[in-house]
């Protein structure tokens, strides 16, 4: 395709477009398919963004926060806490280790047991908050050393139960991206079918155009502009409806967790605007290929 | 419209051949050399040689099914000769690629036997179709288009769709479309096929007018009355297809 071809194809030429009769069902098929696909693409895009965000957040929390619990007889708690803090400060990759104060521990328990809980009177384990650095610490090595030197220490680095979640979030994002590709492929296939049907239905028109001196590029361009425009309009409508659907989802909240975080955030709201453009590009390429093929076959 | 008006209308659309092309004068426009055409059913035309020189007026006659339409199609490249060579403006039509064929078609005007309109476009747009597809800006051509439509007497039918037209109106519209690019050659296949005597005389006058402006005309017809009427006004050669060969008809016509 030369630069001139692309220019003629893109330039709005209403006179040239009229030479192809408006064809009912292929027009509706293209509008509907690109609309439906754009609608689905909005959700796939939202899913991929949300699962990506989730995977990132979980992964970084996982790398950082960990808790050390000291479960020891009351008279040994203070000594074991000190020993654990010493070990932690010597461990490479630990940025900060801090024993929670009684008040902080009481605050953590308050939601379950009420604010008046006498923490002192209960055998509540001492908690040590650990923040990992970059790169992180070796959890396995730390655990071994603690077993040997601080018998009451239990390292809870969230890895055990969060790592599979991060994997799940990553696979979810991969699935969403594959869905977007499939949506694009299916759109291309359907529009190719519609374009082929329109070209076949207009074989007579194409013959007349050739008899009066139209070049194949001109004839193809008339079809391509039609289908590109329809796909653009259909996809724009589908995108708007999809965005409305996403907007109606509940706000992101901690209680709702993943499901409520499904929407777009910040500049992410602009991303779906790409969908109609991509739809138009797909329709352009599909119709162009179909037209070239059909025109080569028609003698 | 007067011939002068027509001349003015047509001069504004020079044929779209490349600049520096050979002038029309003195050069044979369409040339068939030992052309044969066969299909599954056997040989339809054989060993046909004919030259259309600038300004000439030809009739092509012969019984129905003798191959008149086929011969015209060979001339404008809708069919390929199975033997011999067809040349348009000096070029072997077989060697033209799709784009070159399109440019060649812009330089010849064809009135098809079945007219071949786009039924979804109003008549005026059908007549202007060769201009549209060759990239002319129609807004600057309205006056010429109007003169051309007046010449064929279709001013009032500009907005009608082709299926709404009578046979005579279709034939005149087809002629207007054939000449809108001001081609050097006009090939007309049974241009008076579906019309009464009076209308066929009007159409003949239009073709004679074009010939007086220097256009080369080839009319395929089985209507001997039409040929006789023309011979009293222009110098026309009459070619007859008989037994798959082309013969120059004698003075009996
Ligand atoms: N490719 C082809 N296949 C089958 N029949 C053909 C083919 N080309 C021409 N014919 C036949 O040859 C005959 C000549 O047709 P045509 O050129 O239209 O004659 P005319 O215009 O003189 O009436 C017709 O009977 C037509 O059916
Ligand atoms: Mg015929």
pLDDT bracket for residue A260 (50, 70, 90): low
Mean pLDDT of B158-185: 95
List the domain boundaries for chain B: 3-248
pLDDT, residue B26, reads 52
A212 → closest Cβ in B98, B119, B133 = B133
A38 & A183 share domain: yes
CB contact under 8 A, B134 and A207: no
The residue contributing the CA closest to ligand 1 atom 25 is: B65
Whether A64 maps to a domain, the answer reads no
pLDDT, residue B17, reads 43
- Number of domain units in chain A: 2
pLDDT, residue A12, reads 44
A179 & A223 share domain: yes
B102 → closest Cβ in A15, A22, A214 = A214
The pLDDT tens digits of the residues spanning B102-133 come to: 999 999 999 999 999 999 999 999 999 999 99
Name the average pLDDT for chain A. 84
Report chain A residues whose CB lies below 8 A from the CB of B177: 212
CB contact under 8 A, B132 and A16: yes
Q: What angle do CA A280, A33, A25 make, to 5 degrees?
A: 105
Report chain B residues whose CB lies below 8 A from the CB of A210: 101-102, 105
- Which residue, of A151, A181, A214, is where some domain finishes? A151
Ligand nearest to the CA of B73: 1
Ligand nearest to the CA of B111: 2
Ligand 1-lining residues (CB < 6 angstroms): B 39-41, 44, 62, 64-70
d(CA A244, nearest CA chain B) in Å: 39
Question: Does A208 contact B at CB distance below 8 Å?
Answer: yes
The pLDDT tens digits of the residues spanning A178-191 come to: 999 999 999 999 99
Orientation of helix B3-11 relative to helix B142-151, angle to 10°: 140
For a mutational test of ligand 1's pocket, the pick from B46, B62, B70, i.e. the residue with the most ligand atoms closer than 8 A to its C-beta, is B70
By CA distance, what is B120's nearest residue in A? A21
Of A242 and B1, the structure prediction assigns the larger pLDDT to A242
Q: Which range of residues forms the domain containing residue A87?
A: 72-151
By CA distance, what is A14's nearest residue in B? B132
A171 & A284 share domain: yes
Of B243 and B249, the structure prediction assigns the larger pLDDT to B243
By CA distance, what is A214's nearest residue in B? B133
pLDDT bracket for residue A206 (50, 70, 90): very high
Fold of B3-248: Rossmann fold (3.40.50)
pLDDT, residue B251, reads 58
Report chain B residues whose CB lies below 8 A from the CB of A214: 102, 133-134
Say yes or no to pLDDT of B2 above 70: no
- Which residue, of A151, A180, A208, is where some domain finishes? A151
Question: Does A27 contact B at CB distance below 8 Å?
Answer: no
- Beta-carbon contacts below 8 Å between A and B: 61
Nearest ligand 1 atom to the CA of B62 is: 22
Per DSSP bridges, beta strands B57-61 and A153-156 are unpaired
Mean pLDDT comparison of A12-21, A133-142, B218-227, highest-scoring range: B218-227
The pLDDT tens digits of the residues spanning B39-69 come to: 998 999 999 999 999 999 999 999 999 999 9
What's the start-to-end Cα distance of chain B, in Å?
31
A219 touches A225 (CB < 8 A): no
A170 & A24 share domain: yes
A274 & A178 share domain: yes
Say yes or no to pLDDT of B15 above 70: no
CB contact under 8 A, B121 and A214: no
- Provide the percentage of residues in chain A whose pLDDT is more than 70: 86
CB contact under 8 A, A213 and B106: yes
pLDDT, residue A248, reads 86
Location of structure tokens 């605050």: A107
Whether A67 maps to a domain, the answer reads no
Peptide bond preceding A135 in cis form (omega within 30 of 0)? yes
Whether A14 maps to a domain, the answer reads yes
Side-chain half-sphere of A171: how many Cα atoms within 13 Å?
5
Nearest Cα to B185, choosing from B61, B65, B12, B15? B15
d(CA A188, nearest CA chain B) in Å: 28
Give residue B94's Cα distance to chain centre. Answer: 20
- Residue B252 buriedness (CB in 10 A; 0-12 / 13-18 / 19+): exposed
Whether A66 maps to a domain, the answer reads no
CB contact under 8 A, B105 and A213: yes
pLDDT, residue A124, reads 80
Q: Please give the distance, rounded to the nearest whole angstrom, from the Cα atom of residue B69 to the centre of ligand 1.
A: 7
Question: Does A21 contact B at CB distance below 8 Å?
Answer: yes
d(CA A207, nearest CA chain B) in Å: 9
Report how far residue B125's alpha carbon sits from residue B159's, in angstroms, rounded to the nearest whole number.
9
pLDDT, residue A68, reads 85
- Which residue, of A151, A171, A187, is where some domain finishes? A151
CB contact under 8 A, A212 and B125: no
CB contact under 8 A, A216 and B106: no
Mean pLDDT of A139-156: 86
Report chain A residues whose CB lies below 8 A from the CB of B78: 211
B134 → closest Cβ in A207, A211, A213 = A213
Say yes or no to pLDDT of A257 above 60: no
Report chain B residues whose CB lies below 8 A from the CB of A21: 118-120
Can you tell me whether residue A87 is helix, strand or coil? Answer: helix
d(CA B221, nearest CA chain A) in Å: 21
A279 & A134 share domain: no
Q: Please give the distance, rounded to the nearest whole angstrom, from the Cα atom of residue B190 to the centre of ligand 1.
A: 14
Whether A280 maps to a domain, the answer reads yes
pLDDT bracket for residue B23 (50, 70, 90): very low
Q: What is the DSSP string of A120-183?
A: GGTTPPEEEEEEE-SS---HHHHHHHHHHH-TTEEEE-SHHHHHHHHHHHHHHHHHHHHHHHHH
Helix %, strand %, coil % of chain B (to 5):
40, 25, 40
Name the average pLDDT for chain B. 89
Instruction: State phi, psi for B155 to the nearest 5 degrees.
Output: -50, -40
Q: Please give the distance, rounded to the nearest whole angstrom, from the Cα atom of residue B65 to the centre of ligand 1.
A: 6
Q: Please give the distance, rounded to the nearest whole angstrom, from the Cα atom of residue B218 to the centre of ligand 1.
A: 19
pTM score above 0.90: no
């Amino acid at each position: 395709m030369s630069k001139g071809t692309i220019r003629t194809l893109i330039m709005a030429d209403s006179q040239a477009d009229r030479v192809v009769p408006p064809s009912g069902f292929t027009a509706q098929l293209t509008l509907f398919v690109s609309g439906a696909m754009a609608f689905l693409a909005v959700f796939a895009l939202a899913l991929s963004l949300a699962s990506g965000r989730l995977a990132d957040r979980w992964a970084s929390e996982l790398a950082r926060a960990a808790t050390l619990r000291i479960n020891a007889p009351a008279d040994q708690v203070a000594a074991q806490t000190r020993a654990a803090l010493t070990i932690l400060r010597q461990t490479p990759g630990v940025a900060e280790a801090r024993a929670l104060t009684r008040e902080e521990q009481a605050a953590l328990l308050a939601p379950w047991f009420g604010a008046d809980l006498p923490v002192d009177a209960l055998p509540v384990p001492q908690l040590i908050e650990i923040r990992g650095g970059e790169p992180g610490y070796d959890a396995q090595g730390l655990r071994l050393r603690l077993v040997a030197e601080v018998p009451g220490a239990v390292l809870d680095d969230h890895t055990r139960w969060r790592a599979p979640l991060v994997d799940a979030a990553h696979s979810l994002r991969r699935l969403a991206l594959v869905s977007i590709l499939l949506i694009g492929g299916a759109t291309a296939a359907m529009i190719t079918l519609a374009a082929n049907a329109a070209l076949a239905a207009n074989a007579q028109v194409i013959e007349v155009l050739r008899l009066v001196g139209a070049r194949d590029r001109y004839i193809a361009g008339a079809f391509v502009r039609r289908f590109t425009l329809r796909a653009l309009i259909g996809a724009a409508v589908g995108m708007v409806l999809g965005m409305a659907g996403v907007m109606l989802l509940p706000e992101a909240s901690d209680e709702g967790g993943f499901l409520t975080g499904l929407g777009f955030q910040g500049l992410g709201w602009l991303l779906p605007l790409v969908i109609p453009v991509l739809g138009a590009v797909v329709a352009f390429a599909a119709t162009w290929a179909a037209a070239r093929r059909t025109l080569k076959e028609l003698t | 419209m007067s011939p002068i008006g027509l001349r003015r209308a047509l001069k504004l659309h020079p044929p779209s051949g490349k600049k520096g092309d050979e002038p029309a004068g003195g050069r044979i426009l369409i040339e068939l050399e030992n052309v044969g055409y066969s299909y599954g059913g056997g040989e339809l035309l054989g060993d046909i040689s004919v030259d259309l020189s600038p300004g000439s007026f030809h009739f092509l006659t012969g019984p129905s099914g003798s191959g008149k339409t086929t011969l015209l199609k060979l001339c404008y490249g809708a069919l390929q000769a199975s033997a011999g060579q067809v040349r348009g403006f000096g070029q072997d039509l077989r060697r033209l690629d799709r784009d070159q064929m399109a440019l060649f078609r812009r330089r010849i005007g064809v009135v098809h036997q079945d007219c071949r309109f786009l039924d979804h476009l109003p008549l005026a747009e059908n007549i202007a179709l060769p201009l549209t597809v060759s990239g002319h800006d129609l807004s600057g051509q309205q006056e010429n288009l109007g003169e051309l439509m007046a010449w064929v007497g279709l001013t009032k039918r500009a907005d009608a769709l082709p299926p709404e037209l009578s046979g005579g109106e279709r034939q005149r519209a087809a002629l207007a479309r054939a000449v809108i690019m001001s081609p050097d050659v006009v090939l007309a296949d049974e241009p008076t096929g579906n019309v009464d005597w009076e209308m066929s005389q009007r159409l003949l006058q239009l073709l004679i007018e074009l010939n007086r402006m220097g256009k080369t005309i080839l009319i395929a017809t089985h209507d001997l009355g039409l040929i006789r009427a023309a011979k009293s006004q222009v110098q026309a050669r009459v070619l007859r297809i008989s037994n798959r060969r082309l013969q120059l008809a004698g003075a009996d016509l």
